[in-house]
Amino acid sequence: MKPCNHFDQERAEFVLEDMYPTRPWLNYLWNDEVVASADQFGNGFAWTQSGTKRRDLESGTRNVYVFDADSKELYSATRNHGDLPFDSFQATIGLGYHRIISSYKGLEIAFTILVPTSGKRILYRIEARNVSKKRKDVTLFFVNEPRPALSWHDAYGEAHPNGKSIVYSHVGFRVSSDLGYLALSSSDIPSGFETSYNRLFGVYGSPESPRGGLGKGVLSCQGDEFEGHYVGAFSFALSLAPGEKKDIRLGLAAAESEDDAIKASSSALSEEAFQKEWDAVTSKERSSHARYQVHSVDEVLNAQVNTWLKRQISLGKNWGRLYGKGFRDVLQDITSFASLDPETAKKQLTHALAYQYEDGNPIRMFEPNFHYPYQDGASWIPMAVLSVVSETGDASFLEEEIPYLKGVSKDSYSLVDAYAEEPYESRVSGTVLDHVLRGMEYLTTSLGEHGLVLWGGGDWNDSINAAGLEGKGESVWLSLATLKALKETITLLGIAHDEENAARMQEKAKTLEGNILHHGLVDGHFIYGINDEGTVLGGLERIFLNPQSFAVLSGIGDQETRERAMDEIEERCSCAYGYMQCAPSMEQGDPHIGRASYFQKGLVENGSVYLHGVAFKMVADALLKRPEALYADYRKIRFDNPANPQNGMEPYAFSNMMMGPESKYRKGEAPMSWITGTAGWVYRALTEYLLGVRPTFEGLRVDPCLPKDFGRASVTRLFRGRTYAIAYIPSKEKEGTYVNEKRVDVLPLGKKGDRIEVTVYYPCV
Amino acid sequence: MKPCNHFDQERAEFVLEDMYPTRPWLNYLWNDEVVASADQFGNGFAWTQSGTKRRDLESGTRNVYVFDADSKELYSATRNHGDLPFDSFQATIGLGYHRIISSYKGLEIAFTILVPTSGKRILYRIEARNVSKKRKDVTLFFVNEPRPALSWHDAYGEAHPNGKSIVYSHVGFRVSSDLGYLALSSSDIPSGFETSYNRLFGVYGSPESPRGGLGKGVLSCQGDEFEGHYVGAFSFALSLAPGEKKDIRLGLAAAESEDDAIKASSSALSEEAFQKEWDAVTSKERSSHARYQVHSVDEVLNAQVNTWLKRQISLGKNWGRLYGKGFRDVLQDITSFASLDPETAKKQLTHALAYQYEDGNPIRMFEPNFHYPYQDGASWIPMAVLSVVSETGDASFLEEEIPYLKGVSKDSYSLVDAYAEEPYESRVSGTVLDHVLRGMEYLTTSLGEHGLVLWGGGDWNDSINAAGLEGKGESVWLSLATLKALKETITLLGIAHDEENAARMQEKAKTLEGNILHHGLVDGHFIYGINDEGTVLGGLERIFLNPQSFAVLSGIGDQETRERAMDEIEERCSCAYGYMQCAPSMEQGDPHIGRASYFQKGLVENGSVYLHGVAFKMVADALLKRPEALYADYRKIRFDNPANPQNGMEPYAFSNMMMGPESKYRKGEAPMSWITGTAGWVYRALTEYLLGVRPTFEGLRVDPCLPKDFGRASVTRLFRGRTYAIAYIPSKEKEGTYVNEKRVDVLPLGKKGDRIEVTVYYPCV
């Protein structure tokens, strides 16, 4: 039977039966303190982080080798180097865990990696089962690659007297972490251990062709020092009767002392304790997932909405983009997970707004913050605040006091730790609404000679990073984003009953809209902007995707203007797997545009199908009531688009981009998986626009934008303590949202705990 | 026959027949613009550098694969993954080249890597010879790993229309190098090429187990982009009659344009041009090597002195310690190669002294210079100046004007590019002698309360980097080094007939000597110093090696004091493979000592056999007329010390250290090869002290310190245009140096071009 990868919706897992996808497929496992990656074979990195300080835990192979005493064969049960004829071999991508199961010559091995819900810890479990008819005598080897060194050649790896642990210690001069100790511990007394990569695999060997101790099947049981490359390896001698199973559990942890590291790594090694951690991980994820469940004929959409987009958003929620947390990324993430976890959204928003300067402009990044004059930060604030208020219905949040960063945002441009900028206490503060307003004030007073918002060092498109450095260039996209933000601000001011400011913002919006329509439209579409030199980016020669989608998102001009802009996109940016970020790609590096123009054609911001941009367009299509286009957008950027079979993307996580049709050598490939704002916007496009279940301050609205042939579907949405059960019925006659057979605009709130049945009819002709 | 590694003195090569030493053995190849490393299989890195800017050329595997059309076998002729039964397999470590020769199933492959004498280029040659009795049809694959990217995903690798080249281009935004283009070119039209690592070896393959195109024996002939990992791979289809040979040449080069890169990489691909480069490389090295040739019964000593120590010194001369050039390292290197290449020594010294501040203290490092208050820089200046003047006999060098760095050395402590510090023109300047004197002034006025030289951020022992940061700690070692430098300065002042300054320096020396003897001696040996806290480092509890050797080198006190200090070393620091840098090792990190105390016991400055320190001791032993000790020191730290069989060191290059006897797990191992000041000092200890051929301003002196059983030996020394042929004869009666049967003190100068026969009798009882 051909291997068949599939979503297991019941268990919220993705099962990989083809272990050799075009490129390695990643799983991420994390809690607040640890993040780990695992490719399908379990290889990957792990680190802990506090503030800007990162402490590596492991990186490289995680492997279970088997030495069969009868056949004298040594093989990897989890990597299967050399393609041995395994009877079965598969990986399970789980939420917070990763498992590889293989079966070879009568021995089944299941290897599980689990990041528990808390602690600087990673857990592993090896389950070995004799599925043959005779006794099997084997040695199991667990191998990973802890990274104890915090500075140059200062680490030890050595056995702990408990007989079940290896301790890696690092006590260096002026090292940058307090977590000087790692420990790797086992539930069972191992028959041997190894700390040195070279001794384990051999100086001239490798994980693929082990020489050294592993190659001979015997570990040295020695510590090591001055080692660039440590391993954590244990051997276990097993003798299994037919049908017998052996279960070994291990833990890796970082701590400030040897004792604490031993304790943390050993804390969940009993069967019961491990099971408890397991249950905690699986139940934790699922509680937020229950807040929105869809069932439709599109099984991939069901799996992505119900499980995987949430999971990807959740990685952003905890770990940003891994290399750091951009202000704009955090704000967009908050917007998208406000419906899943409103309390955390509120907390993170409160935290983020404290990194807005008194002039209204926020920092660029938290970890690290580099002082480069990006300009778009404030434009994302109203949307995030509105999301939180809409989900909770709690207007008092607008009155919460949050401090500002002292000074103005343009003081200095350098790489700094934002957390260290200013003692929290000494800051001036303002309400959440004041933060929103100061943001708008900043944007609407940072205007150039055409009355458009200054480009500065860049906006969402942070690769157009040299178009406005001289303080003259103006961004039409940012002006549109500001217009959108002003309208969201007006909505917030309505909730707050602040008519005076609302009128003021209306005025600002009107002026800005006029300026954009006057200077930003060329040949029926919106340009990206006018740089310091006065050169127009966009126009006859080139069209950019995002200004058109944001024209719609901001509701600028009349319907015809917006329709026309989007039609231009369909005509000029479309390809078989989405829409190019700009078309055609730029041919030549331009120091007055910046990095984007130096990228190769079809790559990243220079003409790739940048998925974040396509997700913006999905919402724009919905606002224009173009359901076929919206759904087609989604199908085009999906892993299973038959027109782009070589995309290589994980079915359970969107990538940052697909290389564009003008890419010279790698059209359609989708590198850079998981860490992208795409997930949040696709999630909102599907849940709030395609299926149309949109939270507002007044309550939940349902305004779907479903293609005619989408068929029946249902959504269960938890909202302010109520459960809404929404049935979608395609209809040739009826349209609209009904509760108890009464057409409604906003769904009735009822009482806490109520289950409210909703029927939505949508046109199928 | 057992594989037998050996020096080939005739060809100035080291031949490795055992291809699997304890750890990989490195060769370095370089010119002024390029440096490359190669392990025995040819794998390694290469880069070009100008100022602090580095531009990678390649890193990773260099490999020749063979696909045999008959047997369908693919194998690596240069790496032999999987240990195939090769008929022969050996590597040749040459001066400026590296060669691997193998023979398998009737095909002999010789693969040569050559760094030509100039240019940002590396050359390769593959010689394939059918040594079987029948025709052989094979495909050869050349593979290396060029590193074109200068910033994130901005490189292309693609075929050039000439059909024989791959061009890697990088044109990025604000990238840090002008060398945007690499080209790999071949002498022959290849049958195929590849640019992508993943396509060549397969996403799930490796150089060891190629899948992908190489695994199938067919290359894709495609360019690539957005690739973290490029390769340069060509295939060549050969059909060789019995005895037939095919010779293919390749070149890799970096340049500012595609055309220039193609030109540079193709510049030496004809047989004649390649041969010319070859001849230039081999003859260039040998000319400086001829300046000192020894023949003795110790063949290893002969090889090391005649060829390999010079080669190692030469790496330092061009490339410092690779990661950067320390001021003290450069000055010591100059001292050691002044006798080999006085013109370059003079040039480098002139250059280095321009990085001395007006207060007399020089920078810490050139590339990069980090402003950390190291104090010992000036103490190495007189020795280097004296070396140049003694070699050339040209006192006018002392009067050359050299600028100073503006300001004082303690202005700021940060990482900077010294070259950018100050425009050359605006500096004040002084004569070479003035530079020497200002250095002495700096040291002898930077005194603490005991009248010893302030420790600051460290001295030679740059890991004791926190003992004097508060400006109180005093270093006895640095005081001794200063005393030594003062005496060398007095010699220089004698040459310059500057009696006034000489008297002043005499006075300073006398005072300093008194202070050292008064405060620096504890229990018969010299302490390392007294830190900011007033704590003595060294003393009853611990002895440091270098203060004792420098007591002798500085000639402090009476003979008995110096003998006693050295006896303490013999008693307390000695081990089977040398002398510990301190004994016992420090047990506990101390923030008032610094990094050294945080190193694990037996490692680096904390109790390793730091070979640079042993080399100092070799000279001290000579000065105490302890020939047996001197020669034993050398034999102990040599690769072939039978008491330390696991040292793993290259026979042709000294390592930085051997892990000390208190190392917990790796006693005796010698990591960090090549880049150490050890080479220069061992070279001088052997040539100027053991064999005693010492240049002075007055002329060459011969004052050997040979062990009784050293036997007959001879030295040929080129000096100021003369050739001295020195014969060493052990004698029970006669002692001293004879020319024309007349005992002499300084060898007669004769005329330019003269050959002067010298006979040296040394005691053999």
How does pLDDT run across B438-480, given as a tens digit for each residue?
999 999 999 999 999 999 999 999 999 999 999 999 999 999 9
Sort out which chain A residues have CB atoms less than 8 A from B208's CB and list them.
206, 208-209
Kindly tell me if the per-residue pLDDT of B415 is higher than 60.
Answer: no
The dihedral through the CA atoms of B298, B302, B304, B309 has a sign that is positive
Asked if B173's CB is within 8 angstroms of A598's CB, the reply is yes
Q: What is the pLDDT at residue B3? A: 67
Which of A168, A225, A465, A663 should one mutate to test binding to chain B, selecting the residue with the greatest count of B CBs within 10 A? A225
B599 to chain A, closest Cα gap in Å: 6
pLDDT of residue A410: 62
Q: What is the mean pLDDT of residues B706-726?
A: 97
Give the pLDDT of residue B421. Answer: 52
Compare all CA atoms of chain B with the CA of A465 and give the residue at the minimum distance.
Answer: B173
pLDDT for residue A285: 78
Tokens of A608: 């790739």
Any CB–CB contact under 8 A between B154 and chain A? yes
Global confidence as pTM: 0.95
More confident residue, B318 or B614: B614
B171 contacts in chain A (CB < 8 Å): 589, 598
Interchain contact, B603 vs A466, CB within 8 Å: no
Q: Would you state the structure tokens that stand for residue A682, as one six-digit string?
A: 């696709």
Decide if A465 contacts A594 (C-beta within 8 A).
Answer: yes
**For residue A657, how many C-alpha atoms fall within 13 Å in the half-sphere facing its CB?**
20
Q: Cα–Cα distance between B198 and B207 in angstroms, integer?
A: 10
Of A208, A226, A594, the CB nearest to B659: A226
- For A14, residues 6+ apart whose C-beta sits below 8 A from its C-beta are A5, A6, A7, A8, A92, A93, A303, A308, A651, A652
Using CA atoms, how far residue A78 sits from A205, A269, A679, B252, in Å, is 18, 21, 30, 39
Query: Is pLDDT at B416 greater than 80 in this prediction?
Result: no
Q: d(Cα B24, Cα B649) in Å, to the nearest integer?
A: 9
Cβ of residue A202 closer than 8 Å to a chain B Cβ: no
Residue of A nearest to B153 (CA): A599
B646 chain-A contacts, CB cut-off 8 A: none
When pLDDT is averaged across residues B659-679 and rounded to a whole number, the result is 96
Whether residue B372 lies within 8 A of chain A, CB to CB, comes out as no
The whole-number average pLDDT for the span B218-224 is: 96
The reply to whether residue B20 touches residue A666, judged by beta carbons under 8 angstroms, is no
Cα(B279)–Cα(A496) distance, rounded to whole angstroms?
A: 86
Cβ(B115)–Cβ(B30) under 8 Å?
A: yes
B18 HSE (CA, 13 A, CB side):
15
- Is the confidence at residue B424, as pLDDT, over 50? yes
Task: Tell me if A226 and B603 make a contact (CB, 8 A cut-off).
Answer: yes
Helix-strand-coil percent breakdown of chain B, rounded to 5? 30, 30, 40
Flag whether residue B156 sits within 8 Å of chain A, measured between CB atoms.
Answer: yes
Summarised one tens digit per residue, pLDDT across range B192-205 is: 999 999 999 999 99
| Percent composition of chain A: helix, strand, coil (DSSP 3-state, to 5) | 30, 30, 40
Q: Which amino acid appears at position B556 of this protein? A: I
Instruction: State the Rg of chain B over Cα.
Output: 28
Nearest to A173 among B158, B598, B659 (CB): B598
- The DSSP symbol for B325 reads -
Alpha carbon of B201: minimum distance to chain A alpha carbons (Å): 13
Please report the pLDDT score of residue A422 as a whole number: 52
Residues pairing with A184 in the sheet: A166, A252
Is-contact A618 A548, C-beta < 8 A?
Answer: no
pLDDT at residue A441, rounded to an integer: 98
Is pLDDT above 70 for A412? Answer: no
Q: How confident is the model at residue A518 (pLDDT cuts 50, 70, 90)?
A: very high
Identify the DSSP state of A509: H
Write down the pLDDT at residue B2. Answer: 63
Is the predicted pLDDT of residue B423 greater than 60, yes or no? no
Decide: A16 and A96 in contact? Cβ < 8 Å.
no
Pairing status of strand A88-93 against strand A165-170: unpaired
Minimum-distance CB partner of B222 among A22, A198, A665: A665
- C-alpha distances in Å from residue B64, one per residue of A438, B108, B217, B679: 65, 12, 13, 33
Residue in chain B closest to A222 (alpha carbons) equals: B665
Q: For residues A370 and B206, give the distance between their C-alpha atoms in angstroms, rounded to a whole number.
A: 38
Q: Do A225 and B666 touch (CB under 8 A)?
A: yes
Alpha-carbon distance B599 to B585, whole Å?
9
Q: Tokens 């097993």 map to which residue?
A: A238
Mean pLDDT, rounded, for A677-683 = 97
Give yes or no for B748 touching A (CB within 8 A): no
Cross-sheet strand order for the sheet of A136-144: A73-76, A63-68, A136-144, A230-240, A192-196
Q: What is chain A's Cα-based Rg?
A: 28
**pLDDT > 70: percent of chain B:** 96
Specify the length of chain B in residues.
765
Q: Pick from B623, B617, B461: which is nearest to B555 by CA?
A: B623
Residue A153 in this model has a pLDDT that exceeds 70: no
What is the rounded (10 degree) CA torsion for A363, A364, A367, A370? Answer: -100
* Average pLDDT estimate for B359-382: 87
Of the candidates B5, B78, B90, the residue with the CA atom closest to the CA atom of residue B43: B78
CB A34 within 8 A of CB A120: yes
pLDDT tens, residue by residue, A630-640:
999 999 999 99
Confidence check: pLDDT of A413 > 50: no
Q: Among the listed ranges A356-360, B9-13, B406-410, B565-569, which one has the minimum average pLDDT value? A: B406-410
* Mean pLDDT score across all residues of chain B: 94
Q: For residue A209, which residues of chain B lie inside 8 Å, CB to CB?
A: 81-82, 208-209
H-run or E-run covering A294: strand A292-295
Identify which of B81, B173, B206 has the shortest CB distance to residue A589: B173
Minimal Cα–Cα distance from B665 to chain A, Å? 6
Q: Which two tokens stand for residue A21?
A: 């996808």
User: A-contacting residues of B 561-590, CB under 8 Å?
Assistant: 589
Of A20, A224, A598, nearest to B204 by CB-CB distance is A20
Tokens representing B586? Answer: 């420090």
Instruction: Read off the tokens for A578.
Output: 């989405």
**pLDDT tens for residues A10-34?**
999 999 999 999 999 999 999 999 9
User: Where are any strands of DSSP class E within A39-117?
Assistant: 44-50, 53-60, 63-68, 73-76, 88-93, 97-104, 107-114
Tell me the shortest Cα–Cα distance from A24 to chain B, in angstroms: 8
Chain mean pLDDT for chain A: 94
Instruction: Tell me the chain B residues in contact with residue A589 when contact means C-beta distances shorter than 8 Å.
Output: 171-173
Amino acid at A106: G
| pLDDT tens-digit map of B117-134 | 999 999 999 999 999 999
Q: Which residues of A touch B665 (CB under 8 A)?
A: 222-225
Does A599 contact B at CB distance below 8 Å? Answer: yes
Chain A residues in contact with B154 by the CB 8 A cut-off are 598-600
Instruction: Nearest chain B residue to A669 by CA: give it.
Output: B226
Q: CA distances (Å), A129 to each of A233, A399, B608, in order?
A: 21, 60, 49
Q: pLDDT for A561-572, tens place per residue? A: 999 999 999 999
| Per-residue confidence band for B597, with pLDDT thresholds at 50, 70 and 90 | very high
Q: Is the pLDDT of residue A674 over 80?
A: yes
Which one of B206, B224, B671 has the shortest CB-CB distance to A208? B206
Q: Half-sphere exposure of residue B181, counting CA atoms within 13 Å on the CB side?
A: 18
Q: Is the pLDDT of residue B414 over 60?
A: no
Q: Is B272 a residue whose pLDDT tops 90?
A: yes
Instruction: Mark yes or no for CB contact B599/A153 under 8 Å.
Output: yes
Output the CA torsion sign for B85, B88, B94, B98: negative
B671 vs A: CB within 8 A: yes
CA–CA gap between residue A260 and residue A757 (Å, rounded): 52
pLDDT recorded at residue A54? 83
How confident is residue B53, by pLDDT bands cut at 50, 70 and 90? confident
Residue range A243-259, pLDDT digits in tens: 999 999 999 999 999 99
- Dist CA B312 CA A695 (whole Å): 73
Q: A414 pLDDT band (50/70/90 cuts)?
A: very low
Res A152: pLDDT? 65
Res B422: pLDDT: 53
Interface with B, mutate which of A226, A229, A230, A609 (most B CBs under 10 A):
A226
Contacts of B158 in chain A (CB under 8 A): 664
Closest CA to B557 of B621, B511, B513, B505: B513
